[in-house]
Amino acid sequence: MIFKQVNKILNNRYVTNQFLRNVNTETSAKVLYPLSSRALLKIAGQDASAFLQGLITNDMTHFEEGAKSMYAMFLNNKGRVLYDTLIHKWDTDESFLIECDKKLITLLQKHLKIYKLKRKVEIVDVDKDFKTWVLIQPESNTLPQLKNNVNIYKDPRLADLGYRIISSADTKDSHIVDIIGKDIVSKDNEDGYKYLRYKLGVSEGAEDLPPGTSFPLEANCDYLHGVSFHKGCYIGQELTARIHHTGVVRKRIMPVKFSQSISEDIEKDSVISASNNPKSNFGKLKGVINNYGIGLIRIKEALEAKVLMVGNYSVEVLKPAWWPLEAPKEIQKNE
């Protein structure tokens, strides 16, 4: 039932030429993007932390140790990703905001309510009350000082992804710029942020991770500090742990660099193949903007092949610089 709803929500094609306009590729300026594709759920009550602990890949005790924000995924009972989220500490010890793809926020809310049972937890869609932004602030570990009901969180995945800012719904970008400083470039859409994610090889939301189609380690959840292998049980935990401890992650989300900017539609899940063998399959493209995309790709084979093809376009699969220096299990099993 969930997948039928998702198919109605998501288009099986995505337009790339619209992203070519006003895409910010600067690496030196501070840039503020509105995240209109993201939505928020508020989880509050004395059982909120324990409730989420049994549902997510990460460990809620990190908040007790001082964490302000955490990357986590909700899985189905087969260990596949339903929703990738950022969980932000809110105004009390047992109050959290879950940031998720806006297309899936209703499904996530229903998913949570199924497991609520008699727990003392409130699950409220607060997206109309708040606005979410991302501030890219290169080469800085200093958290900008905000005020006036504007909250800021360092992205828990990668420093290159900057900061999430959550403000009241009526907040204008000029207000945030005034608070942080005048040296910020304010954009009117999130195309530049998406371009940055794709260059880094970071998936986010239902376009990149359609519910029920991939495993958390394939989406680099382990590399992005989004999964705990030491906590207790949660839905989908058994398979995730088994893959980590004894299995091999042969495919992962990786960045794909096109030889030219893309100015036309490309079918979602287009096959990435060898230039001399169109019938080969090294993975599938999940998204593209300008000259970068991301795909779920066979690591060893794609890196060895160097130049590959997506349709009529030549592409190169890149190993992200932020990946661990070595992944012994994968290397040993593939050699």
Check which CATH number belongs to the domain holding 181 and give it: 3.30.1360.120
Question: How many whole angstroms separate alpha carbon 111 and alpha carbon 102?
Answer: 15
Is 212 part of a structural domain of the chain? Answer: no
Say which range, 49-58, 104-113, 323-332, has the weakest mean pLDDT: 323-332
Is 306 among the domain residues?
Answer: no
In a domain, 59, yes or no: yes
Residue 86's pLDDT band, with cuts at 50, 70 and 90, is very high
**Span 243-300, pLDDT tens digits:** 888 778 999 999 999 998 886 678 888 999 998 888 899 999 999 999 999 999 999 9
Does some domain include residue 36?
yes
Find the mean pLDDT for residues 120-127.
96
Q: Provide the pLDDT for residue 42.
A: 97
Instruction: Name the domain count of the chain.
Output: 1
pLDDT of 190 reads 97
Q: Is the pLDDT of residue 240 over 80?
A: yes
Picking from 211, 215, 222, the residue whose alpha carbon sits closest to that of residue 239 is: 215
Q: Return the bridge partners of 134, or none.
A: 33, 164
Residue 125 counted as domain residue: yes
Q: Are 295 and 286 in contact (CB under 8 A)?
A: yes
Q: Is 44 a domain residue?
A: yes
Tokens for 60?
A: 């809620």
pTM flag (> 0.85): yes
The domain of 157 spans 26-200
Cα 73 versus chain centre, distance: 9
In this structure, what token pair is assigned to residue 321? 């610089």
